[in-house]
Amino acid sequence: MIKLSRLNGKEFLLNAELIRYVEECPDTTITLTTGDRLIVRESMEEVLRRVIAYHQAKVLFPPSVGQRSCRGLCHHETPPLCPAECSNA
């Protein structure tokens, strides 16, 4: 998730995985994979910086040692974490 601000200043969190593209026209408009559009205060470059940081954090900080992973083999609601009873963990 990345933190952004609406034009009225109210902050919200956006799932960075849902971003299809970002454009400035003149306000920064984010189009999601769902077709929804969001207008934010941040510049296109700032949105890009936050998305890159989000993806880097996924690689640098994987799930904690105590958490189990089903390695994408299951259909749990919150992959990649997997309950202890899962046979794929």
Alpha helices in 1-89 (DSSP H): 44-60
Residues 62-73 pLDDT 10s: 766 555 555 555
pLDDT attached to residue 16: 97
Q: Edge-to-edge strand order for the sheet containing 37-40?
A: 19-24, 28-32, 37-40
- Residue 89 in this model has a pLDDT that exceeds 50: no
Domain ranges in the chain are 1-89
pTM of the complete model beyond 0.85 = no
Task: Tell me the C-alpha distance between 58 and 79, whole Å.
Answer: 14
